[in-house]
Amino acid sequence: MKKIVISLGGSVLVPSLESNNISRYVSVLKKIAGGCRIFIVVGGGGEARRYIRVARDLGAGEAAADELGIMVTRLNARLLIAGLGDAAYPRVAENYTEAREFAETGKIVVMGGITPAQTTDAVSAVLAESVGADLLINATSVNGIYSADPKKDAGAVKHERLTPQELLDIITGSRMDAGANTVLDIVAGKVIERSGIPLLVLDGRDPENLYRAIVEGTYTGTLVSKDSSNPLLS
Ligand code: UTP
């Protein structure tokens, strides 16, 4: 069975606690899980950034702020597990070995952050490498990787395809502070490059995009891979 790691941005899954997309994701994930092994890494979103900002204002250092961000990612992961019920392993995996152990049950494995100085992008890339995933999907709040931030620059152009090296070139130059909002963090870029696992960046605001990509092999987004074949159809 195909193994797929999905990085689910906190801003996509829990835009706010009250108006969250968890039940919409739960029904899509349950449908997908029938045909492949699913690992989900949940981000912290706006809530993590709020905690980080307040901690900084209180004089906390970057690593301490990161720890707070990690706690929020795990809270969001817990919410997703609550929604998935029996379909998910009941605990949030706190390291890659646990994730592999939990996967032995055949259930959906959910994790959040792991360690300071990175984001859940890095966690998802290392997890993909660790479990030997066929594909890594980053479900985020834009529909691909752009030449500039499309929310700020109207002239930004979407990359349909990138090689892992081109992705790294784009990432290098971005800053890496707690709560920083960049395309992907540098650890993720390096792991994607060394593992050769294809990465698909798509718009996760509509959970059906995930279904269309994984089950039907069609997507709108950016594919990062060494060759141009569609990893969803192989
Ligand atoms: P996210 O992965 O959610 O960051 O982690 P993000 O890029 O803001 O992602 P979205 O908005 O959810 O898509 C939130 C913060 O938690 C800390 C970092 O400070 C990060 O910015 N974090 C997360 C870590 O320090 N280590 C981790 O492994 C994960």
Domain harbouring 117, CATH code: 3.40.1160.10
Structure tokens at 207: 């959970």
Residue 91 placed within a domain? yes
**What is residue 233's predicted lDDT score, i.e. its pLDDT?**
65
Q: Nearest to residue 71, comparing CAs of 89, 88, 54?
A: 54
In angstroms, what is the span from residue 7 Cα to ligand 1's centroid?
Answer: 11
d(CA 165, CA 178): 25
Strands 221-224 and 161-162: parallel
Using 50 as the pLDDT threshold, list the residues of the chain that sit under it. Answer: 176
Residue 96 placed within a domain? yes
Cβ atoms within 10 Å of 232's Cβ, excluding its own: 21
Beta bridge partners of 135: 4
**What is residue 32's predicted lDDT score, i.e. its pLDDT?**
96
Residue 229 placed within a domain? no
**What is residue 174's predicted lDDT score, i.e. its pLDDT?**
57
Residue 149: φ, ψ to 5° = -65, 110
In degrees to the nearest 10, what's the CA dihedral of 120, 123, 129, 132? -80
In angstroms, what is the span from residue 86 Cα to ligand 1's centroid?
Answer: 27
Residue 231 placed within a domain? no
| Residue 113 CB–ligand 1 contact under 6 Å | yes
Residue 211: φ, ψ to 5° = -65, -50
Residue 99 placed within a domain? yes
**What is residue 100's predicted lDDT score, i.e. its pLDDT?**
98
**What is residue 98's predicted lDDT score, i.e. its pLDDT?**
98
Residue 135 placed within a domain? yes
Structure tokens at 73: 């990612």
Residue 230 placed within a domain? no
- Domain containing residue 176: 3-224
In one-letter notation, the amino acid at residue 9 is G
Strands 158-159 and 145-146: antiparallel
Residue 133 placed within a domain? yes
Atom 13 of ligand 1, residue of closest alpha carbon: 9
Task: Determine whether 215 is exposed, middle or buried from the number of CB atoms within 10 Å of its CB (0-12, 13-18, 19+).
Answer: middle
d(CA 34, CA 30): 7
Q: How many domains does the chain have?
A: 1
Pocket probe for ligand 1: among 52, 68, 72, 73, the residue whose CB has the most ligand atoms within 8 Å is 73
| Residue 118 CB–ligand 1 contact under 6 Å | yes
| Residue 66 CB–ligand 1 contact under 6 Å | yes
**What is residue 234's predicted lDDT score, i.e. its pLDDT?**
61
| Residue 11 CB–ligand 1 contact under 6 Å | yes
- Matching residue, tokens 């790691």: 5
pTM: 0.94
In angstroms, what is the span from residue 234 Cα to ligand 1's centroid?
Answer: 31
